[in-house]
Structures are given as C-alpha cells and as structure tokens.
Structure 1
Amino acid sequence: MTTATDLNQPTLQPAAPTGRRMSWPVLLLVIAGALALTSIVRIITGADGITNVSQMSTALQLAVPIGLAGLGGLWAERAGVVNIGLEGMMILGTWFGAWAGFQWGPWTGVLVGVAGGAIGGLLHAFVTVTFNVNHIVSGVAINILALGATRYLAPLAFVGHPGGSAKQSPAVDSLGHFTVPGLSDALRDLNEQGWFLISDIAGLLGGLVTNVSWLTLVAIALVPGTWWILWRTGFGLRLRSCGENPVAAESLGVNVYKYKYIAVIVSGGLAGLGGVFLSIVANPFYLEGQVSGRGYIGLAAMIFGNWMPGGLAVGAGLFGYTDSLNLRGGSGNVHALLLLGALLLIIGAIWLAFRKKYTASAIMLLIGGLVFTWYAATNEVPNQVVSATPYVVTLVVLALSAQRLRMPKADGLPYRKGQGK
C-alpha cells in the first residue's frame, strides 16, 4: 500500500505514463521523414527559402516565446489548473521587462518581467484555487486586466523618455547574441549547395548556431529542465498527482493548494519570460499589441504536445516556423508548402485507409486533392493567406491530433480541501 511517506520520497519512480506516447525512435523517424518530404518539395518547387539558415534562425526566435507560454500552460495544467490567462501574463512580461530593462539593464528587465508574469499567475491561482472561480472566466479576466493595466501604465512610465510614447517604451540594451565560429559558416555553405536532405538538415542546424540570443539558450534548457522536475522528482510527482486526482493526493498527505499555487505562479513566470523575450530580444522595446495571440498559440502547442515538454517543443517549432514565413515575406514559400500539405494529407489518407477508417480517409484525400489543385492552379498565394498561416496551422494541427490527446484527469475541475471525506 502506498503511504504518504512513499509519496514524499524523491527516488519514487513516476507513475506509469498515460495516454498514447510516441517512442523516441519512432519520433526521430517521423521527423526524418518530414525533413525528407520537405526536401523533395524544395527541389520540385525551387523554394530554397523554406529550409535556409536565415529562415530557420527566424523560426527559432519566433518559437521561443510560444514555447515558453506553452511550458507555462504545462505547469499549470499538470497541477489541474487551466490557464487561459497566458496571453495576459505574457503582456505583463513584455511591459515589466521593458520598463525595468531600459532603466536598469536588460538582465534586470528579464527578472522583473518574470516577476510581472508571476504576479498574474498568483492572481489566477488566488481566484481559481482559493475561491474556486471557473478557470476559463478567471483567465479571460486576467487577459483583459493585463491589457488594460499596461495601456494605463505605459503613458505614465514611458512618455517623456527618449524614444518613449504612450504605446512604446524606450529602447532596451541587447542581451547579446552568439554565433558558433566555423560551424555556422560551414553549415551555411552546405545549406547553399541545395543537396537533397543534407542541405535541409544543415539549414536546420545552422539556425541553431547562428545569431542566437543567450535567452534562447535559457528557454531551450527549460524544456528538459521541466521534464526532469515534473517526471523525475518527488516534487513533480506530487504536483502531477494534484492534476490527476487531488482527493487521493490529499489523502496521502499532499498539500494540494500549495502545489497548485506553486504551479500556477511558475506558469505565470514562464509566460512572463516569453513576454520578456518579445520586448527585449525579438524587439528591443515594449510595443502595445506585440504579444499578438502568442499566449493562445502556446496553449495550442501544449495541447498538440499532449501535455508533454518534448511534444510541446515540436509544436512550438512548427508554429514558429509558419510564423517566420509571414515575417520574411514568404508568399512563394507558403505556395510551396501547399504542395507539402497536399502530400501530407494524401499520406495521411493512405494511413487511415490502412487502418480501415475509410470515411476519414476519403475526407482527407478529398482535402488533399483540393489543396493540390490550389497549388497547381496558382503561382503564389495572397498576402492575407500568408498572414493567416500560423493560425490556420494551429487549428489544422489541433484538429488532426485531437484523437490522441489525453489531458490530466482533474484539469479544470473544482477542488475543495477535504472534499473526499
């Protein structure tokens, strides 16, 4: 029989994984297949920009704030608290980070921005955990409150300073970037050769070692760090138990309220760090509206990743990549990706037919045929389609992955101390 003492032992093996999980060999095989298919599309269409070093470097920069928001959502929801307020916590991070950054330096801005997001998380925890308010209502309220608060504070803090206005902060000094000498140039040269698959892999790796912010390294390290804390420590086991069965966790001596508070505050801090990235790294200043829905996309990346850090990172990379097409004026690149999308849909239809899901296979095949027709009948796509690509991809990916998802059992459910007695 498991006892409270057992649960508190840090050497306890985490609970058996739930839901359908993809093994690492299969995941690597899928990624390699996707890269090979992308390389074929690049060669057919001549759209070399879809895998060049600059594109991948931009995609990484755009993926980081989405991934940090997703990690924030992961912490909260693993403890049973739905955090729709990630958008507002990112907004708080952008404002507080820029406000402190232009006065006392960028690293101070990072710390203050994280604290700003954590304040939003504390408020969300106070409302949902202590007062048992509906999590969605609380999250939406925080988004509205954060937007209103920063609009009110910006004129008071920024007007009168050089470069400041009611909607923009003064410039913040750079945190610094690094490029791995030798390796970056070698990968760029290899990428420019246009070889099948090899040049595409070189472009992907080149983006990871070219003009990378130090804060990007911190964000990347947080992914395995989160996995280790939540799945390899007693603290993480207790926290996840609050999201699976808080009544059972309480019966084993876990202070459910405490772990929910910790998780949601950490969630806000991570979202705030994503906001800091936007206002110090992506742009060296706060600008009203610069979060632009990334908190919601981060939440979608978390769901796509099945509430796991590795899957979340893949989802953030996918959404960051599609966003980079818009940023770099990728009308031709998006047109080439229509062919990639059509091929993926056709392959998916064949797979569904193999699994004897004939209706779904026929629908997917029809959609794939329509996308291919769109590609064959045009030479480019409208700019409006390019701008909408990240959001369309978000919806499509969530729709296609919905059947394999498994959220924590008590996620979003009301809980009162002692309710199991």
Structure 2
Amino acid sequence: MSERTERSEGSEGMPDQHRMSERTERSEGSEGMPDQHRTSRLGVGVIGVGSIAEMHLAAYAANPDVRLAGVFDLNAERSAQKAAAFGVARVHPTLDSLLADPDIDAVSICTWNDTHAEIAVAALEAGKHVLVEKPLSRTAGETQALVEAVERSGRHLEVGFVRRFGSNARVLKSFVDGGLLGDIYHARATNVRRLGNPGGWFADHARSGGGPLIDIGVHALDLCWYFMGTPRAVTVSAVTHSPLGNRANVTSLSRYKVADYDPTQSDVEDFAVALIRFDNGASLTLETSYSLHALDDRLEVAVFGERGGAELEPKLRMVTEMHDTVLNMGPQIDHLSFDFAEGFANEIAHFVSLCLGEAEQVAPVSHGTEVMRMLDGIYESARTGREVRLS
C-alpha cells in the first residue's frame, strides 16, 4: 500500500459528556451504535498533517467527545510538531501502524488526491470510520472499491464537502426543503481565481487528478447539486483551457504557494466551463479557474426554482414573489458567507456524532461517487470536444 500521505499545504450543539465511544473491537452488526461497555471518548487519528489537516485537528481538539489518539505524515518532523500543538497522544511511524492502533476508532484523511481512495479502503478494512477530504478520488472508477469497502465494513464514510456545513448553507437548505423555492430547475456554480494556482501537487495532474475543477470548482458544483436534491447527471458539455499556466511571471500581487512550489511545473487546466443536464430536466452551469485575466476572484453559488431563487455565495440572499410583488429577502445570521472555522467545526462535530450513532449521514460515499461522475464527464467532454452522455 502506498504511504504518500503528506499534504503539502493545501459546534453543533453541546455533546453529552457521558457519550460512549464506538470501538473497533465491537461485534459486527453494531454499525453506528456505541459500545455500551465503554465510556471513553471517540479515538481519532489524522492521516496527513498539511495545511488542511490543521482545520481538522483544531476542530477535533475543541470537541469534548474526541480524544486525538494519533497522527501520521511522511514528514515525521511535521507530524511531531502538529502532535505537540494539538495534544495528540501518539505520532505513528507508518500508516499501517496508525490503522492497527486499537485506540483509534475513526480517521480523517487529509492527503494528496491520488491516495484518498487507497487509504480510505485500508482504513475501512481496519474497522475505522472515515472522513476523507474531497475529492473522494481522482476518477469515478476509483470510487467503486470504496463503495464496496463501505458495504463490507459496516463503517461510515463521509466525504469532506465542508461547505455543506456552513451556517449559510444550512439555513438555505432548510428553506429549500421547506419548499420556498419550489422545484429547482437551474443552478449556477462559479469559483474563479485570477492568480490562484498554488503549485506543488495541486499543479501535478498525476497526484491531483486535475486543476481548479477538481480542487475548487467541485465545492461550488457540489453545493448547487446538493440544493437541487442530488439528481442524477445524464449529459455534460464542457471546455477547458490552459494558456496561462501558474502565471509565475506575475510579481505585483501576492499569492498562496505550497511549500514545494515550482514555477516550472503545471500540467493541469487553467480554466473549465461546463453545462450539466440532469434526469429530472434541471440544468447546471459551472465556471472555474486557477488562472484567468479577470478583474477579481469570484465565488458564486446560485439556484433558481419555480417559486423563488437564492444566492448562497458571495452572501446568502433569497428572492420570491408575494402578493404579485418580487420580494428580496436576507436572513439575519452570523455568517452570510462561508466561515472556514465554523464550517470545519460543524463538519467534525457531525462526523463525531455520526460515529457515535447520533446523526444521519450528510455526505455519504454515494454523493462523492456521483460528483466524480460529473467531473469525469466534464474532463471527457473537454478532451473529445463533444457532449458526453454519462453511463
């Protein structure tokens, strides 16, 4: 098994203090149910301790139902530093060591995209619950082994679609589910950076599986699809462009760069645009980029229904009709746009509750698989120059 687990840069209610941890040694058939003979907290291990893992570690460390039992990263020095910073019980020398640790009930996988599926399967087979960072894999084909592993293991796998857990997204979902918008027939997903290629593994197709589409566009795509009710995609028409690369020549603006940034390396797309049609007749347009001659970066998530519409980003706003009048509405909440700390805290709190048998899944493996089908279709349509019908 590969151990390429280094990721180079890249609270829901108050829990009951008497909750019992689910342990890996409990008998089969007890999925999601706590071991009634245990009173310890949920033991969590984090695999890969790059930048995104800090959000996981901070949220776990703040959760009173969690005991951070172990970490592993290819960079042993960084593992030791993160373990000390977040009070992790043990730094594991290998991935196999962490997965064999009986004190670990669940893991967060925060590694390169090309390792997500392989490590997740191994973790499930070791009896661990899994929270895996998006994307679930590099391709839809890689997800089949994950689906089978979830079914065999009886453990939970949640995909890290963290923006579903923002307070703005939760509020909008409640309005959508309540029928305010009616049937949603179109959505618009935009995540454009003008100078946003971080380099490193993000710009290496072999490790990432793609560029802005699979890295940042997927967040906007997933949110729109989630609010639409997760219909099945049937056709995709798309174009990608790569004329600008990482724009390493630009020195007038600062940018985020990974630790192993190489100005000569970038074999992923700069820009992607797509039209997706669904089995219920609805449509979705997507636009995303790392490098683009745009005036500003732009994030937009918008859905349009028969009775109303809404924008989630750049800030939550809704529109409907009442008494023959168009009515714009804005909820009074703390975060009208996505707040990273809150989003990760909510995601981790939900995952912990799920492992303890106290919550239902929000982002199951089937959702990760369907999103990968759409991404595969976008890349195939762009490569072939024609509309693709998804199998």
TM-score range, shorter chain: under 0.3
Structure with bigger RCO (C-alpha 8 Å, 6+ apart) = 1
Of Structure 1 and Structure 2, the greater helix share is in 1
* TM-score of the pair, normalised by structure 1: 0.21
Of Structure 1 and Structure 2, the greater strand share is in 2
